[in-house]
Amino acid sequence: MTSELDSAAGRRGFLAMLLAGLVPAGSAAPPTARVVFDHDAPNADLTGWKFVAVELTFAPGSPSARHLHPGFVLGYVLEGDFRFQLEGQAEVVYHTGEMFYEPLASHHIVGESATPGKSARVLAIVFGEKGKALTVPL
């Protein structure tokens, strides 16, 4: 089964099989599943860490301040277009339904709505050590 899970199609099929077992007999249709994001996990021992989910709304013309997260971040664009850049990388615009990853201690230098006159909403899942700041200004 490992070879089947090596491809995105194999992972989707495996997930669909798992979800099929959750649907009662006689239901109209099983839930659908699609892989939204696939990224290697960082080499980190998460003992003593926590996960915090934060919904962020970026109003038009109101970018986030430059900052870093001592841990790492998974982001999901809930609504709108989100302009994003980490130091040393190209600027990217993520759209509704897309995800991004910030490696450990990356410098987040651009975070804002990419559409004039429209907000962007992002769900950020921040992984960090308990008792320490999750965000540090630059």
pLDDT in tens, 20-68: 556 555 667 788 888 988 988 888 889 999 999 999 999 999 999 999 9
| Domain extent at residue 16 | 1-35
The count of structural domains within the chain is 2
| pLDDT > 50? residue 5 | no
Percent of the chain with pLDDT over 70: 80
* Same domain assignment for residues 87 and 126: yes
- Residues near 129 by beta carbon (within 8 Å), at least 6 away in sequence: 48, 49, 50, 70, 71
In a domain, 40, yes or no: no
CA distances from residue 34 to 97, 99, 112 in whole angstroms, order as listed: 11, 13, 27
- What is the model's pLDDT at position 28? 73
| pLDDT > 70? residue 2 | no
| pLDDT > 60? residue 100 | yes
